Amino acid sequence: MNPYLPDHEYIPDGEPHEFDGRVYLYGSHDKFKGSGYCLLDYVCYSAPVDDLTDWRYEGVIYRKTDDPENKDGAMCLYAPDVTKGSDGRYYLYYALDLMPYVSVAVCDTPAGKYEFYGYVHDKEGRRLGERPGDEMMFDPAVLTEGDRTYLYTGFCEAENKAKHGAMVTVIGKDMLTAIEEPRFVLPSRQYSSGTGYEGHEYYEAPSIRKYDGIYYLIYSSIKFHELCYATSSSPVEGFVYRGVIVSNTDIGIDSYKKAEVPAFYGANNHGGIIRLAEGDYIFYHRHTDGTNFSRQGCIEKINIEKDGGIRQVEMTSTGAEKDYFRGEGSYPAYMACNLFCEKEQTYTGDPGTFLGPDYPRITRDGIDDPDETGYISNMVSGTVCGYKYFDIDDLHSIRVWVRGFVDGDLSVRIGIKGSTLGKVHLGKMNFWTMYEISVESITEKAAALYFEYRGSGALQFEKFEMIKRG
């Protein structure tokens, strides 16, 4: 389900790569209740190529103090990427949060202990990003073909005329030395007129893949919440804007709501695609606890057409599940793919700010504690949380575990504005308390379930259990 890692884990900026019959997931590492982005060391998870629901923790692969410029640990490890070099070793490209250059670490295995290797530099040994006239080397993405590695970087605030867009630098066989200078491949907002990128210009978070002769450059646009993509037949030029793959607000999806209406509280986004034998997937992240700084990884199935086209997909709870959930058993409330209230709000707010007391959020009691479980907090009157998708054939009732000093009704329905299946009245509760909602007999194989609270106080929602008839 989504999020696909344990709910105490916060791995945003996910880059999936297939190595040696497994999918390895690399990303930055947030801390719940953290004061900023990417406060923790890099860890890695992996899964079988035929089951992206079976993730295994591989441990810490690189510590922020491993970089010789960061021995005191004062800087954070921002979004990384990994590629396999022509020598068979694995190279981790990353950037420290206060530095304009890219660092590299190396390991003999995909998820072993990476050792610092060096900095990306020009033929004279000068670090790229520090030379006069250089633009910041940020959010590295890498693709190796033969003895050449293509490194994509860039950070472009929408109103900054000094930032021109995403860059690609060609790195030689040593995985450090630029054999071709950086060139711009995606435009920033200031330089997008007439390019086809208008309204979806490059902001940050490049990710590169190649399938069937087509290069896919995924990136986060100036809208912040969406991952867009461009394609080309060359890794260094000719990228054409193609569209949005996923938004962590579901803006752009008009199948169950109006396209411009947000259905989750979003902020920045970063991720990559992967093609496996069983299908294509996009990795991205969502925001929790009402801030920018507690991000969790999510997956959605996508379909890459023969011409390279990818239609935007909606956020779901099922994620990498092959179909839909069985309409029985227990499910955690934190896997909600939609969460909103009557006061429409797209973003969690600027970094360092809090969504505020008028909005619900996904949170937890323990900080990075695997013995605690996440839940939805602050469900004020009119709050709706949605889950997709369930086989609810022959559903008898739904048990819910809730708490809070409330006086109101919790109802459940099919679809965001669909028919009500049932509701229950809730009273004041200090501890998690189970209520049972009897539902009308219904037969549906792929139902979206939405819970709505109406009443006084702010409800907390831990989990629900679906009971079949008979």
How far apart are the C-alpha atoms of 464 and 123, rounded to whole Å?
60
Task: State the virtual CA torsion across 25, 27, 30, 36 in degrees, nearest 10.
Answer: -170
Beta strand residue intervals within 226-310, DSSP E? 226-232, 240-247, 273-276, 279-287, 295-302
How far apart are the C-alpha atoms of 262 and 1, rounded to whole Å?
21
CB 222 within 8 A of CB 203: yes
Which token pair is 237? 């030029």
CB 215 within 8 A of CB 209: yes
Q: Helix, strand, or coil here: 437? A: strand
How far apart are the C-alpha atoms of 286 and 297, rounded to whole Å?
6
Catalytic member of 9, 13, 250, 452: 13
Q: Which residue type is seen at 355?
A: L
CA distances from 341 to 152, 190, 204, 361 (A): 39, 35, 29, 10
Residues 6+ apart with CB under 8 A from 29: 10, 11, 38, 39, 40, 41, 42, 43, 77
Task: Report the half-sphere exposure of 90 (CA within 13 A, side-chain side).
Answer: 21
Supply φ then ψ for residue 325, to 5 degrees: -75, 150
Cis status, amide bond into 3, omega within 30 of 0: yes
Beta strand residue intervals within 155-201, DSSP E? 165-171, 178-187
Intra-chain end-to-end CA distance of the chain, in Å: 27
Distance of CA 253 to the CA centre of its chain: 17
Long-range contacts of 258-261 (CB under 8 A, 24+ apart): 261/344
For residue 204, indicate whether it is catalytic: yes
Q: Helix, strand, or coil here: 335? A: helix
Catalytic member of 7, 204, 289, 452: 204
- Choose among 1, 77, 35, 4: nearest CA to 294: 35
Instruction: Please list the alpha-helical segments (H only) found in 302-417.
Output: none
For residue 13, indicate whether it is catalytic: yes
Residues belonging to the active site: 13, 204
